[in-house]
Structure 1
Amino acid sequence: MPGRLTEAFPGLWRRARVVARVLRRKRQSEQEQQQEQPEQEEQQQQNTTVPVTKKKVSLEDRKLCEADDVEPKIRVNTTIQVAQLREEMDLRNFEAYIIPINGEQDGYTMEAEDRLPFLTGFTGSSGVAVVTTTQQAFWTDGRYFLQAEDELDCQWLLMKSGQEGVPKVMEWLKEVVPAGGKVAADPKLVSAETWKTYNKELAASEISLVAEETNLVDLVWPAEVRPAYPEDPIFIHELDFAGKRWEDKVKEVREEMVKKGADLLIVTSPDEVAWLLNVRGNDVKTTPVFRGYVIVDRKGVELFIPQGKITPAVDLHLNVNQCNDQECVSITAYSAILNRLRALELNPEVKKVMLPKKWSYSDGASYAIYSAVPEDKRLVAVSPVLLMKARKNPTEVQGMKASHVRDAVAVISFLAFMETQTLPDVNKIVKSYTKLNVKMGSSTEEVNLNSMSWVPDMMLVPNIIFSASEHHIFYNFLHDVTMPLYEVGLDYRHGTGHGIGHFLSVHEGEDTAAARHLTACTRASVTL
């Protein structure tokens, strides 16, 4: 691709090479300094006996927080929200409360679940906050260091995950919460695997982890400003695009259940629910999924979904309650899922319940789902739906190829326009880009120029080069476009490639390609 781009847009790539030469010299100089540093440190150790201590993260590390500083326009003061949350914590004798970015269902957060942005002001896609009785801390990864610095008010400790001297969430909590203290979180928002890890670490310091089912942020989030859950009905993903009947998918899932010895499977991820039943929704702003759980047993399928989501067409598609000699689906209220699982205690016919484990981009079942299943009946394994979904059938593969052709037109138009720009209006460009061709929309929102997810260090240089990652949702594909960076001597703090869904999520297991994590799938999956 770089060779073709060089021929098509010589001006853009000439400027890119200039930047590359500068950055390569800078990188070479840094490497030489790093080679000299161990010798200097060894000499210092010989000359002194004073132990070197790591610098602790403090509020003094925050930028533009002095009285005479002009604070960023996007900074949000959340003093009132945090104070109200502490009042709720005090009523329950909690020393700390954990607020993850997650919604109730595996990796998907709806606007009604934007608790982290409400409490912190942070609008990125990765983060976790912890509020104690006297401090408040926020963790995020390298894509969002700059953005978090600008959006968080100056009372938040900014924990730059992975940086030297920065403690992990549990490490910090063990430092600031006394033995005998209580740390709480909403079990619906934390994966079972993460919860068990947290619990083990805290217990070692005699700190309790409390599963508080009433979300404390919800108690302080005024109903008049909190977005409502979407009421849009779900719709059919037609066989012409899906390539396989949902009934056949369920049959294959049951075959996998038999191999594992499971009597019942719980499908907790919205994209897996949507893929399995060949339906889609509009509950998440940038991904065609909806709130819902599915239970598959040896005889039937049960869909847990909010009221009003099933249209007559979908009712017919799913053969709702028409279970004579065909596969059918029964509909149950979304909120009934936990009680349904707890009732398995009284069902001797169900001996093993398969719960999805953390795998690739999927966090697996939440601790709320996990703990509702009787302990002796739990069977934790990689979701068979996740693996089946990753293997694209011929119809899906053909749709992806066709979408690549259509999206190529958009990419070429985008680059041609960039050739004429000196300091581009990025959001205007991206919006014009996403209007090209017939598709559902874009799975990214407006560009935040302080987000490493969009602009790596030294990347946005007037009249030189621009790079962005853009995800496009077509009826028969989802396309993720990332402009080449490393070819011109640039690096970035996020992954390079990952599995792509078929009219579903931009992040799909089981393929990932990143500096610290690489998995490869030999089946018919698609990675970009």
Structure 2
Amino acid sequence: MKVIIQQRLVRLRQEMAKSGLDALYISGTDPHQSEYLPDYWQVREFISGFNGSAGFLMITKDAAALWTDSRYFLQATDQLAGTGIDLMKLRVEGTPSPAEWVGNLLPAQSLIGTDAACLSIAQFKTLKQSLASNDQKLTDCGDLMKTIWENRPPLPLDPIFEHDTKYTGRTRLEKIELIRQQTKAAKAQATLLTALDDIAWTFNLRGCDISYNPVFLSFALITETTISLYIDGEKVLPGLNQKLVSEGISVKEYAAIYEDLALLSGKILIDPDRTNQALLEAISPDASISYQLSIPTILKATKTDHELEMIKLAMRKDGIALVKFLYWLSKTVGTEEINEYDVLLKLDEFRATQDGFKGASFYSIVGYNGNGAIVHRSVTKETAAPIKAEGILLIDSGGQYLEGTTDITRTIALGKVGTLAKEDYTLVLKGTIGLAEVKFPANTPGANIDLAARQALWQTGRNYGHGTGHGIGFFLNVHEGPMSIRQEYNNRVIEPGMVISDEPAFYREGQYGIRTENVIACREWITTDYGRFLQFETLTLCPIDTRLIERKLLSESEINWLNDYHHRCYDELSPFVNDEEKEFLKQTTAAI
């Protein structure tokens, strides 16, 4: 594979030379700024061999570098070895930005190309300004992969389908009316939707264009009098097409968005972080542009009471499947030969027995012992390590159900573990409980409560490099914005109805990884003379392994939280498992 990557780089550099480029910036995303991509847009992986979900490249005629975050440092080190591409570690002191890196290598007046259709307006502006400080220029060179990627996968054509209102609670026309109201309040006449999950949520439609994310390639334009959905016509079956048209929704070809934008007048709302630069350049000069966060991004992040009830059903289904899986694991490890990949397949098998299951919400992370320290390990049949009745197993997985999306991590003892591992595990658990129990004033950003998850680790000089919490979609993307809980500041506040992961962690390279993740929902708590206060409700239902706990490190209130949580897990899950599984569940949820 290393030789193949080297050959691809040679061909790419030849195309760069033909276009007069001194360097090429590859954003690693698609025209919708997606985290997970259709195979057609897997440009970063094709040209570098790195298949993590985050990263970008800068390539000159003599050098190449890939930037990614701490989740992928170990993986990227391995996958880039021998390719001629250097790893740049994001958010690590001393790591240059792409503009700084290329500024150190190339002289003034150098021309750096990028595909403007795969770079957001905000990213394009930032990169252009950064390069200008080097007296270098950024230009749109289009998609150079068209000429060098032989047998490139086609764009997907699988049919889309409706997400029934018995799950969504609101019709698409009701959602569109909410968007129109907020557009009018912003004194605008139109809003452009480009993020795939925004569009899927707005139109109560789902698809399978991207693995694990039930979305479909499309754009949408909502004006005062028209509703247009831009999508390959083959993906809309006749019956659904007729229904959409009867509701006043025009179904147009995917690329027609560029033609319609050229005809616009009045003010249009654009999200600069989710709209690509090529779309911006297509907008008519007669139109005025107002930049703001996409309206459906906020609407879908704040779940309604109906959506929350549906999500709880999804969590129960997921919990049932996980109890069955954990029981199987307890009976199998040490008696049969199994490996990490067998575990991944078994997880999907148990989830598939639940009604409404539509597949995994991401590629399950399964790491035994030292592999657990590879934060986003993507195990394959070929790379799977055998699992023995000793050590620690980390499993991060999730499911897509018609009722909602799940994301859960459990760290499991497969035999005796040392005192240090128990201490690490318990400190992480204290963080999971700490965030679940935190109370905070309304209008608080996630960065301001991140300490609740990290404090126990920090008090002992420990830390983890990734975020603590990300938003989770409603039968949509497992990673959903705009809010987050992490050390880096994000000014989007945590609001009632938001569903977020709670996943503190700790990793010892080469030994094990520890992460205990639940999904939590923000709820109203109390109002006092000092304002409104909020709290979290834990939605995930699955036992937390108590064999790894160093009990003396837990406070009485933390022990009570854990015992109460396990009591609820048993009450809600035991009616749906068989007698052997019920006894196993009783043991794993016993009070400590």
Deviation at 1:418, TM superposition (A): 4.3
Deviation at 1:278, TM superposition (A): 0.8
User: Does the C-alpha gap of structure 1 residues 366 and 173 become closer, same or farther in structure 2, counting only changes over 3 Å?
Assistant: same
Return the match for 2:261 from 306, 324, 341: 341
Deviation at 1:431, TM superposition (A): 1.7
Contact 1:236 1:317 in 2 (8 A): no
Contact 1:142 1:161 in 2 (8 A): yes
Q: Which residue of 2 aligns with 1:441?
A: 359
Deviation at 1:351, TM superposition (A): 1.7
Q: Tell whether 2:104 aligns with 1:104.
A: no
Structure-1 separation of matches of 2:28 and 2:57:
8
Q: Tell whether 2:104 aligns with 1:132.
A: no
In structure 2, stretches of 5+ residues that fail to align are 379-385, 412-424, 431-456, 502-592
Moved more, 101-110 or 481-490: 481-490
Q: Tell whether 2:136 aligns with 1:207.
A: yes
Contact 2:22 2:110 in 1 (8 A): yes
In structure 1, stretches of 5+ residues that fail to align are 1-73, 345-349, 359-363
Amino acid at match of 1:218: K
Q: Tell whether 2:537 aligns with 1:527.
A: no
Contact 2:269 2:292 in 1 (8 A): yes
Structure-2 separation of matches of 1:132 and 1:374:
35
Q: Which residue of 1 aligns with 2:429?
A: 487
Helix, strand or coil: the match of 2:499?
coil
Q: Which residue of 1 aligns with 2:177?
A: 251
Q: Tell whether 2:302 aligns with 1:373.
A: no
1:297-350 Cα distance to aligned partner (Å, 9 max, x none): 0011011101211112312331x1x4xxxx411121101212221232xxxxx3
Q: Which residue of 2 aligns with 1:502?
A: 474
Q: Which residue of 1 aligns with 2:216?
A: 290
Structure-2 separation of matches of 1:482 and 1:82:
38
Amino acid at match of 2:359: G
Q: Which residue of 1 aligns with 2:202?
A: 276
Moved more, 386-395 or 371-380: 371-380
Return the match for 2:314 from 377, 396, 403: 403
1:437-463 Cα distance to aligned partner (Å, 9 max, x none): 2300002226475642249xxxx9962
Helix, strand or coil: the match of 1:371?
helix
Amino acid at match of 1:445: Y
Count of matched residue positions in the alignment of Structure 1 and Structure 2: 433
Structure-2 separation of matches of 1:448 and 1:470:
8
Q: Which residue of 2 aligns with 1:516?
A: 488
Amino acid at match of 1:263: Q
User: Does the C-alpha gap of structure 1 residues 525 and 90 become closer, same or farther in structure 2, counting only changes over 3 Å?
Assistant: same
1:41-93 Cα distance to aligned partner (Å, 9 max, x none): xxxxxxxxxxxxxxxxxxxxxxxxxxxxxxxxx75641111011111111111
Contact 1:510 1:521 in 2 (8 A): no
Q: Which residue of 2 aligns with 1:165?
A: 94
TM-score, with length taken from structure 1: 0.77
Return the match for 1:425 from 312, 321, 339: 339
Amino acid at match of 1:83: V
User: Does the C-alpha gap of structure 1 residues 377 and 517 become closer, same or farther in structure 2, counting only changes over 3 Å?
Assistant: same
Q: Which residue of 2 aligns with 1:22?
A: none
Return the match for 1:475 from 402, 426, 434: 402
1:265-307 Cα distance to aligned partner (Å, 9 max, x none): 1000111111111111111111110000000000110111012
Amino acid at match of 1:85: L
Contact 1:77 1:152 in 2 (8 A): no
User: Does the C-alpha gap of structure 1 residues 470 and 448 become closer, same or farther in structure 2, counting only changes over 3 Å?
Assistant: closer
Contact 1:78 1:153 in 2 (8 A): no
CA RMSD of aligned residues (A): 2.3
Amino acid at match of 1:334: Y
1:205-256 Cα distance to aligned partner (Å, 9 max, x none): 210100122x11221000x2x2121111111111111110111111111100
Q: Which residue of 2 aligns with 1:351?
A: 266
Structure-2 separation of matches of 1:238 and 1:409:
24
Q: Tell whether 2:32 aligns with 1:90.
A: no
Q: Tell whether 2:364 aligns with 1:392.
A: no
User: Does the C-alpha gap of structure 1 residues 464 and 76 become closer, same or farther in structure 2, counting only changes over 3 Å?
Assistant: farther
Helix, strand or coil: the match of 1:209?
strand
Structure-2 separation of matches of 1:442 and 1:234:
18
Considering fraction of residues, name the structure with more strand.
2
User: Does the C-alpha gap of structure 1 residues 445 and 334 become closer, same or farther in structure 2, counting only changes over 3 Å?
Assistant: same
Contact 2:363 2:397 in 1 (8 A): no
Amino acid at match of 1:516: E
Return the match for 1:218 from 146, 150, 157: 146
Contact 1:292 1:305 in 2 (8 A): yes
TM-score, with length taken from structure 2: 0.69
User: Does the C-alpha gap of structure 1 residues 342 and 277 become closer, same or farther in structure 2, counting only changes over 3 Å?
Assistant: same
Amino acid at match of 1:208: K
Q: Tell whether 2:157 aligns with 1:231.
A: yes
Moved more, 86-95 or 477-486: 477-486
Structure-2 separation of matches of 1:416 and 1:171:
52
Structure-2 separation of matches of 1:329 and 1:162:
44
User: Does the C-alpha gap of structure 1 residues 267 and 206 become closer, same or farther in structure 2, counting only changes over 3 Å?
Assistant: same
Q: Which residue of 2 aligns with 1:8?
A: none
Structure-1 separation of matches of 2:92 and 2:256:
43
Moved more, 440-449 or 255-264: 440-449
Residue identity over aligned pairs, in percent, reads 27
Structure with greater contact order relative to length (CA < 8 Å, sep ≥ 6): 1
Deviation at 1:186, TM superposition (A): 0.2
Structure-1 separation of matches of 2:294 and 2:272:
7
Amino acid at match of 2:96: P
